[in-house]
Amino acid sequence: MAKATTISQMLDKVKSHSFSWLKTYNVNLGLNSHMWWLNPL
């Protein structure tokens, strides 16, 4: 039972870290694409 709890806790941590990373990446991507529209090549 302890192993299952540890695994689920680990998965929750991974999910939260992945979500925060994706959120940060999407914000940066959005800003970069906005700048691209302002300064097309």
Q: What is the pLDDT along the chain (41 residues), one digit of tens a residue?
A: 567 679 889 988 988 887 777 777 666 666 665 555 566 55
Distance CA 20, CA 36 (A): 24
Q: Measuring CA to CA, which residue among 37, 35, 38 is closest to residue 27?
A: 35
Structural domain boundaries, residue 22 = 1-38
Distances from the Cα of 7 to the Cα of 17, 19, 21, angstroms:
15, 18, 21
Q: Measuring CA to CA, which residue among 11, 14, 34 is closest to residue 22?
A: 14
pTM: 0.42
Q: What is the radius of gyration, based on Cα positions, of the chain?
A: 18
Q: pLDDT value at position 35?
A: 59
How many domains does one find in the chain?
1
Q: pLDDT value at position 21?
A: 74
Q: pLDDT value at position 19?
A: 77
